[in-house]
A and B are shown apart, each in its own frame.
Chain A
Amino acid sequence: MPLAEQIGGATLSWLAYVGNLTRLTSGAARAVFIDPFRGRRVKWSRSMHQALAVGVTAIPVVSLISFFVGLILALQAAYELRRLGALHLVAGTVALSMTRELGPLMTAVVVIGRSGSAFAAEIGTMKVNEEIDALETMALEPVHFLVAPKFAAMLLMMPCLTTWSDLMGVFGGGVFGVMSAGFTSHTYLEATIDALVRRDIFIGLVKSAMFAIVITAVGCQEGFTTGLGSEEVGKSTTAAVVKSIFLVIVMDLVFTSIFYLTAPR
């Protein structure tokens, strides 16, 4: 009985948590997509500032990690394909895995580490310093003021970063392909383009947009629920990273399943 109770309690609190994330997201979405058309002024400069922090400064680390992941994928695929004498399939394997799966996922992991945690830390610190209260007494809605710019920036930059990650992954695979699988750079690129259909890229970008929403919501939510005291900010930051990674993986599973089931045969 206590076990069932515990499971029930945990489920309920997760549901409540997801409910909070949804509320935060819908508030931010309203601020970004609806308010500008109702004459409410939106300061895009804050979004631009966030987009720089989220996207542009993440390019080096996303590049490096994606390059390595592409290389690893090629090595792993080659290990198996070599026995079948199908080494020429390496290019397609890398391209598909990167665009559909690992590009979005690796980008998400990097962005969680860099930006999701930063969102939680920034908002958490503001909470502890009464800055969130100050915003409210100035008639500045915290979701509108703090979450919406991050939301817009993430929604814009995650697909861009993911695309870049895909390219770098293919490049990593290509380095292996050219060096030890008998490709020239030209034939590798051709094999890659042959293997990909538009749907693959689309799936990856849809995923990355979904991850952007989850990471923003979790990071900000953890910030807003920070308790009193500066040590709580650290806890919020950790929680933001752990919960984001978990939710991103769960969403990835859900989307991959949906795309698998709806795939044209």
Chain B
Amino acid sequence: MELSTRQVENATVVDVVGDITLYSSPNVRKTLLDLLRNKHSRRVIVNLEKVRYIDSAGVASLVEGLKVSRDVNAGFALYGLTKTTREVLELTRLIKVFEVYDTEEQALRGKGDAGAQ
């Protein structure tokens, strides 16, 4: 799994390539928490287009990212969910908890607080 971050407008986009699993999710978590806590990103957007598989450790890492984003009053959104990723989030009933968008443009634009609950 590979991670890279880039600044787009006032948001930080995290591109994840590969599977987010028990063994790779600590990296995702570290990156997300670092962006939110230390680099004070105002909005973190996770690009999941290239993620074929995410297990519950990956889901838990995203949940942590979301939680910390609320603690520091930053935005947190996902986009580009593949079918399996979407399935996993639906099964864990988290699809409605996250801000989920289809494309990067939509994610950048956001929709205020809608979708946050």
Q: Taking the complex as a whole, does A directly touch B, i.e. does some CB pair lie under 8 Å apart?
A: no
**Which residues in B have some Cβ–Cβ distance to A below 8 Å?**
none
**Which residues in A have some Cβ–Cβ distance to B below 8 Å?**
none
